[in-house]
Structure formats: C-alpha cells, structure tokens
Structure 1
Amino acid sequence: MDINRRTAFKGIGAGTVALLGGVGSAAAKPPSEGDTIVDVAVAADDFNVLVDAVTQAGLVDALSGNRQLTVFAPTDEAFEALADELEVEVEDLLQLDNLEDILLYHVTNGRRNADSVINAPQIEMLNGEKIDVDGKMLNDGQAEIVATDIEASNGIIHVINGVLLP
C-alpha cells in the first residue's frame, strides 16, 4: 500500500462527513474494528481510479466513518472503459463537475449482502436516485456485479465491471 496515499486519505475534508447526512461530525468515533471501506479500496490493486476519485470528490471521511454502507465499486478497468467510451482520458473523469454525484450513485445505506442486493428490484443510492437490479446486472447492463460481500468494518463492497451513471 502507498503510504502517501493513505496519509492523504486521513487528511482530506473532515467536512465531508456531514455531506452524507446523518453520518455525524468530523469528531465521530473511529469505525469499529478492522479496515474501513476506504482502507480496503486503498489496499486493493484494482481500485486506484476509484480511490483517486473518492479523494478528488472529498468523500474519504464519509466512507471511513461508523455509518454502515454498501459500495458498488467499479474497477480500474471499468473506469478505463468509460473513458474510452467518452473519448477522454481517465484523469479527465476525475475532473467531472458531477463526480461526487456519480460516486454517491455507487453507495447505499446499510450493510447489504449479495442476497439482499440481487433480490431487490431497485436500490436507493446516496445521491437520492435509484438503480435497477436484475440479478447481478445493474441499470440494464451498465454494470455487472463480479465479486460480492467484501467485508469492511463499516460496510460491504461489491465489485462491479462498469461505472454507473445517474
């Protein structure tokens, strides 16, 4: 794991905790035992763009708190495919005006395991919109869940092969 990246995560935007409403204040207690969603993403090799996007959008604290969340995490390959589709560089995606909204479209309240997700027709996301679920397919094929139930102290991560766009 890149120590500089971890240090950057710890020092970013204490005010973002309030962004997700009900998360608490910047002085909230640290998550219970174990790695947070952010820690898991930083330690993995396939979420570098996601980690950079979360940092750029100022959502690190919100995804590191005590609040239980479920994250649908696009892989680096998913971000690269979106960049190719839009005919831009991956770095350009990190500068999108609606980056925060896009990222919040990948997060829902609560700790939702795979069975809870694939059996729900829709899931309300933190940006206020809903995604459609058809088994492991999300939003009519925008992404497919390719790995499930990755545990973190403050939630669950499901890996997806596409970037969901609100």
Structure 2
Amino acid sequence: MKRRVPALLAASALALGAVQATAPAANAKAAGEDSLAGLLTSDGNKFDKNKNDFDILTEAALAVIGAKPESPVALVADGSKRLTVFAPTDQAFRDLAKDLTGKNIKSEKKIFNALVELAGVDTIESVLLYHVVPGKTLTSKKVLKANGAKLTTAQGGKIKVKVKTKPEVSVTLKDRDKNDTDAMAVLSGLDLNKGNKQIAHAIDQVMRPIDL
C-alpha cells in the first residue's frame, strides 16, 4: 500500500496543467474563454523559488499530455469548457515529497522528478481528474456557500466541502482518504482566471481519490 501513495499523489501535480495554450488574451473578462493553461504558462512556465505558484503542476501536465494527447487533462487548455480546479501549490508538493521520501527537497525540479518517477501515466491522469470539477464555474462566492456539498469530480469520485466562518473563514476539502490531512483552500489564491469559464482555487494539500 505504501508504494501506491507517491504514485497517486505525484499525479495531482497535473491539477491545473496543460501545455498547448497561449497566454491569455488582453480582453479576458469580456471574452470569458481564456483557459487556465494559458494563465499558468503565461509566466514562462519555469521552476523557480516561489512556493505559492504552480510550476510543478504545470510541468507534470506536460508529461501526461505528451504521453496521452487525447487525455481529458487537455480540457484545461480549452477555455470554452466550464470547469473548476482545486490546485495544490508548489509548497504542497514540497511537503508531500518530504512526507514520502523523508527528505527536505528544496529544488522544484527535483521534487517534480522524485514524484513523477514513482507514478504511472494512468495513475497521474486519474488523480489529476480528481482535482477537477467539470461543467461548473465555481467562484469563491459559490464555494463559500457550498458547506456540506459533495462535488463530483472528473475522475468520478467526490470531494466534500466544509466551510467555517468563525473565528475566521476557512474552506476544507475532504477527500476519499479518511486518514490523510484534508486540503484547505489558500485564501490568497482564490478565483484564479476570474471572469472566465475556467477558474481555479489554490489548495495546500494534494487530494487522494481512494482510502490509503
């Protein structure tokens, strides 16, 4: 069972990725169809030292799309399709790598390599899709009103939303692994790609579609 953990969790590196998009158009708000992939790759798509962005996610998507060009993962490059992504940050993957390897890996590239090396393409794709809610543009306002809701993901599994407003606002996403730390929304990373059909919210953990 332990060997399945890194394979599953490395996969969530794909949560926002896609590789064939261009930078978002200037009039994104009016058009409403700029893709998440375009937003993510608009900064040059390079590993860096910013723990709050999504370089590992984006780079992992390259591996999946490269191996499986017809994968549903590519939908995040099609801004005409409505979807919501809950996206682990680079820091989430740094914590993950430490948990799985017992090592404090600082380089984002080395974290990416360490995680992806342990995961097959099909597993990567499955976990990616577990972070995507298809057909819905769930803004932060909608998420904050969704306490108790169970969202069906593109993977087929469900995630449960738990919202607290006191003593401060928090949004927790409960996955299928009952023993794992549940992901929480990063409040400073909500409504990425706002104004478009595709939107994303940063989270501080990767989610697991099965009970490990």
Report the TM-score when normalising by structure 1: 0.73
Aligned to 2:137: 111
5+ residue gaps, structure 2, are: 1-17, 22-30, 44-49, 66-70, 103-110, 164-170, 176-180
Aligned to 2:178: none
Aligned to 2:64: 57
Aligned to 1:139: 174
* TM-superposed deviation, 1:39: 1.4
Structure with bigger gyration radius: 2
* Equivalent AA in structure 2 for residue 71 of structure 1: V
Structure 2 residue matching 1:63: 3-state secondary structure: helix
Question: How far apart, CA to CA, are the structure 2 residues paired with 1:83 and 1:163?
Answer: 11
TM alignment of 1:12-161, pairs within 5 A: 32=31, 35-43=34-42, 46-58=53-65, 61-65=74-78, 66-87=80-101, 89-95=111-117, 96-97=119-120, 98-109=123-134, 110-120=136-146, 121=148, 122-135=150-163, 136-139=171-174, 141-146=181-186, 147-151=189-193, 153-161=196-204
Report the TM-score when normalising by structure 2: 0.58
* Equivalent AA in structure 2 for residue 40 of structure 1: L
* TM-superposed deviation, 1:42: 2.0
Structure 1 residue matching 2:95: 3-state secondary structure: helix
* TM-superposed deviation, 1:86: 1.1
Task: Write 1 or 2 for the structure with the bigger share of strand.
Answer: 1
* Equivalent AA in structure 1 for residue 203 of structure 2: I
The percentage of counterpart residues that share the same residue type is 31
**Cα RMSD, aligned residues only:** 2.4
